[in-house]
Amino acid sequence: MNGKMQIQVHLQIRISITSFAMFLVKTWRSIAFGLYGFKNFTKPGFMEHSKNFKSEDMQAQIEGKNCIVTGANSGIGYATAKGLASRGATVYMVCRNMERGEAARSDIQSETGNKNVYLEVCDVSSIADVKSFASRFSSKNVPVHVLVNNAGLLENNRVITSEGYELNFAVNVLGTYAMTELMLPLLEKAAPDARVITVSSGGMYTAPLTEDLQFSGNNFNGVEQYARNKRVQVALTEKWADTYKDKGIGFYSMHPGWAETPGVAKSLPSFSKSLSGKLRTSEEGADTVIWLALQSKEKLVSGGFYFDRAEAPKHLPFAATKGSHAAIDSIATSLHTLSRL
């Protein structure tokens, strides 16, 4: 065997070993996530964890506080908006569809008796729309005490928005980033009580942080892209907490558990069907969002990831995701450029 052939063989062996190692790591992540999730993320998990809940934590009234909830016309967003409204908050529901948003707003007003519930129409997948909303809302010149980044999407096919971005990324990452950055001046008006709560997902446990934000490969996988997006949200929350630590704003990400929502039924029908009867309600999914909105900030860790009213780990054991968060500075720079803020 000549030298050239030896080099080729060695390269092939090295590539094969690397590919096999990556396969093992991804397989372990999926297995660990499945086992951990089935035990903790389901309705039985919520019932078990709720034994440690304190009822007084949810009894605060927040009249006079302004709360923005994106994706608020159904599922966890609707339950969050309703929960905040029932405690006296002035709630601004950010919804993509005016008709569905107006119906949801009317229902919340009727069920809570709170007339200070308003609809703001905005498609979070569009940077132009987010900027337009931010400009309109800023003209109100009101402090924002709570921003809940709930709008999310799991699209299984590669769809490109009119602005040229992969759709999952546009909603889950770029829109969320732009909404948060543009609301900062109004959040500062509510300091030191201001907070940003981003609804992530336990799916992020299966993905490290990657700078391939729009899934450039040919074999697009919507579930994997969603997991990547949710990992970015958790890392961004850490970044925001550090960058704006002197602004009087707390930043928190959270996992709602596996909840039975319209979005899950549409995007993951097999998953939804296989766990029928074991999924959480939207109200149970929203529980920790509302809890984070009500607690004294002294009880919370800015930059933390929360699940069932407690700080939770951001990485599963031996999943090789922890070191990946070092890429967040570069990713934040890319998001700033792409959103043209």
Question: Largest alpha-carbon pair distance within the chain?
Answer: 83
Catalytic option among 226, 244, 252, 306: 226
Task: Output the six-digit token pair for 318.
Answer: 């031996």
d(CA 68, CA 148): 6
Helices (H) and strands (E) in the chain, counts: 12, 8
Q: Burial of 10 by CB count in 10 Å (0-12 exposed, 13-18 middle, 19+ buried)? A: exposed
Closest CA to 278 of 292, 263, 264: 264
Lookup: tokens for 117:
């519930």
Half-sphere CA count of 252, side-chain side, radius 13 A: 29
69 close to 84: Cβ distance less than 8 angstroms: yes
Catalytic status, residue 92: no
CA distance 178 to 90: 22
The catalytic site residues sit at 226
